[in-house]
Amino acid sequence: MVFKSPDPHPNGLQATDEGLWIMDQSAGSRASLVRYEDGGVIRAFETETDQSSGITFDGSSLWIGSTYSREIVRVDARTGKTLERHFTPGAGVIYKMAGDPAARSSPLAKPVTAPKPATPKSVGGFQAGDTLGSKAPGTGAHGQEWRDGFLWMAVPPSREVYKVDPKTWVVQTKFPTAANRPHGIGWEGKYLWVADSNLNAFFKHDPETGRMVEKIQLADSDPLPHGMTIRAGWLWYCDDVGVVCRLKL
């Protein structure tokens, strides 16, 4: 662990020259720009997104995955004002498939003494379909990255990574992920790393073919990967219980 996040449930990271953006999924869906060395807040604001997952920076504005409205929302990077809203390709309820890894929780999470009642905003993934049936709202993207004028996103319901033209909102290409819970993504040169929370691992893909070329497996005792980003040879990731970590690639 490098430092604690400024809000309790970080769910997206993006490295920039100015600092590290942290997207929180608590009420208010606050985006915070923090210092790399200690997590000190440079600036922060609430966003008009719903329990968000993932964040990226295009050089002037932020793109955020609004989990339960299943949208990608572009906001002003200085004020948080909403600039655009788009529906997420591949959004929906995460389906079950033979051979799927079991749902994994953070080893740092406090024990839950009693289950919370299921509601559309507190239930996602497998549980949304099981509990709410045809009324299940599903989820959208869980990780975003910007590269050469295109927006990339990992979408758990379809188990795929998409490359989207933000001007036309047309999918340019896509490739399958390792398993059923892809989350944060980050660039290392020409390769795109994808975190999978249920596999507790990171997978390095050739984005042109989708081929996996490397894997980093975390220990069961390590913080669970959610948001992820890469900067200067370091992979940063957050566990949604409030910690930010990094490892050397």
CATH of the domain at 145: 2.120.10.30
Determine the length of the chain. 249
- Structural tokens at position 176: 């399958």
- Structural tokens at position 99: 């051979």
pTM for this model (two decimals): 0.91
Q: What is the pLDDT of residue 104?
A: 93
Q: What is the pLDDT of residue 237?
A: 98
- Low-confidence spans in the chain with pLDDT less than 50: 118, 120
Q: Residue type at 169?
A: W
Give domain status of residue 114, yes or no: no
Q: What total of structural domains would you count in the chain?
A: 1
Give domain status of residue 103, yes or no: no
Residue 134 and residue 120 in contact, taking contact as beta carbons nearer than 8 Å: no
Give domain status of residue 107, yes or no: no
Q: What is the pLDDT of residue 116?
A: 55
Give domain status of residue 137, yes or no: yes
């807040």: which residue's tokens? 41
Q: What are phi and psi of 32, to 5 degrees?
A: -125, 135
| DSSP three-state, residue 7 | coil
Q: What is the pLDDT of residue 5?
A: 98
Domain encompassing residue 16: 3-97+120-248
* β-strand partners of 68: none
Letter string b/e over residues 186-220, b meaning 16 or more CB atoms within 10 A of that residue's CB? bbeeeebbbbbbbbbbbbbbebeeeebeeeeebee
Give domain status of residue 190, yes or no: yes
C-beta atoms surrounding 76 within 10 Å = 14
Q: What is the pLDDT of residue 127?
A: 66
Give domain status of residue 113, yes or no: no
Give domain status of residue 104, yes or no: no
Q: What is the pLDDT of residue 40?
A: 98
Give domain status of residue 76, yes or no: yes
